[in-house]
Amino acid sequence: MGRGASLAFFWSFRAVGAKRFSLLPRVAPHFPMHGMSERSSLGENGNRDVVRVELGERSYDIRFYWDEPEALARDVAAFCPEGAFVVSNPTIWHLHGERLVRALEVAGIPSCVELIGDGERFKTLETVSRLYDRLIAERYGRRACVVAFGGGVVGDVAGFVAATFMRGVSFIQVPTTVVAMVDSAVGGKTGVDHPRGKNLIGAFWQPRLVAVDLAYLRTLGPNDLHGGFAEVIKYGMIADAEFFAWLEEQMERALALEREALQHVVRRSCEIKAQVVGADERESGLRAILNYGHTFAHAIESCGEYRERQFHGQAVAIGMVAAAETALQLGMFSCGEAERQRSLIERAGLPTRVPEGLCADELLDRMRSDKKVVGGRLRFILPLRIGEVTIRDDVPEEVVVGVLRKLGAK
């Protein structure tokens, strides 16, 4: 989609228990494949490539870079009057931390760094409490700025700390994984997990800036790289059939981190996320479509007790297959389009079956504790066609259990 293009939201109401959503582009999407600078992510006339999240006085930029820590630090400096409280994890810090600290120093930003554990099992109130302790010990006040430097776990935890320390301080996202760049860093959802479910404790707290340096993706391990593409495929399924078709043609180039393809994947995903969040910040309607596949996925993660084999992106991939199969069972979705989704997920190196040993009844029980349950009824985002989804809260539980068992659950 070209710069300045916008999306029109099409809302129509169907039978009781279903709300239908489609994002229809007003202009033909533009897939930039030529002419990008090899030195920076600057657009025409030397301007920084930017996607704007429009939320009134809480609006902010998603800015794109390519191996430019100095430029990124200069942009961060404007929001850090008392310095930066940087939250990261040992893996990311070992790879990129020294360059970031040097860049912050050059930009005149004093920094304090706190590392948290690497993985979903550290997304807890205990971790949050330790970050509070450090903020207080370092005498940060209401002008503090928390900088999340890492993937989704780091961003969710650091954001929740920013939302609650001193009743809310500034927050900046510097995502380093695909899933964080295209999804979790944008939109203001922050929080931690509970033993009974994922993200049950949290707050909406928008960042002041999302600074996306795509070069960080060059050091991702295969699980994180491939897992992030589940969220990318999701955007095609919920909002943009032409983007989905582009992914069918270009998936291998994007996974190989070819710069032009990667830039388009991340930017287009951010455009869709920004439009949805701008229309429905607190998930009262449209934003729920971003949970496509996630009702199943969060149950899979929760039953796996957030062990490393239960990567979020891989769980989302399985969840999207389950959502498509549910829609097939209900007569809402075609076999051909379900196969197109399954094939693209497999080409992205992602699983399409429930991990061995998980029980369908236990997965259903975890879904009942999901934060998306409304009035005791499970809500599912189900596809009508590629690029259009609907919200259903009337799916029979026996259909859900049958789908899970068909995909390998006990």
325 is catalytic: no
Q: Choose the catalytic residue: 226, 264, 281, 291.
A: 291
312 is catalytic: yes
Q: Choose the catalytic residue: 96, 226, 264, 294.
A: 294
194 is catalytic: no
Q: Choose the catalytic residue: 63, 234, 287, 366.
A: 287
Q: Taking the alpha carbons of 236, 237, 238, 239 in that order, is the dihedral positive or negative?
A: positive
Could you give the 3-state DSSP secondary structure of residue 111? strand
State how far the Cα of 122 lies from the Cα of 223, in Å rounded to an integer. Answer: 18
308 is catalytic: no
Residue 16: half-sphere exposure toward Cβ, Cα within 13 Å: 0
63 is catalytic: no
Closest C-alpha to 189, from 318, 276, 83: 276
38 is catalytic: no
State how far the Cα of 158 lies from the Cα of 152, in Å rounded to an integer. Answer: 10
Rounded to a whole number, what is the largest CA-CA distance in the chain?
60
Q: Choose the catalytic residue: 38, 167, 356, 398.
A: 167
Q: Choose the catalytic residue: 312, 366, 372, 379.
A: 312
Q: Choose the catalytic residue: 231, 281, 337, 388.
A: 231
Closest C-alpha to 382, from 395, 367, 396: 395
231 is catalytic: yes
- Going from the C-alpha of 187 to that of each of 22, 183, 194, 331, 373, the distances in angstroms are 19, 8, 21, 33, 21
Q: Choose the catalytic residue: 19, 96, 208, 298.
A: 298
Q: Choose the catalytic residue: 19, 96, 123, 189.
A: 189
114 is catalytic: no
Q: Choose the catalytic residue: 273, 366, 379, 392.
A: 273
Q: Taking the alpha carbons of 313, 388, 188, 183 in that order, is the dihedral positive or negative?
A: positive
226 is catalytic: no
Which amino acids are annotated catalytic?
167, 189, 231, 273, 283, 287, 291, 294, 298, 312
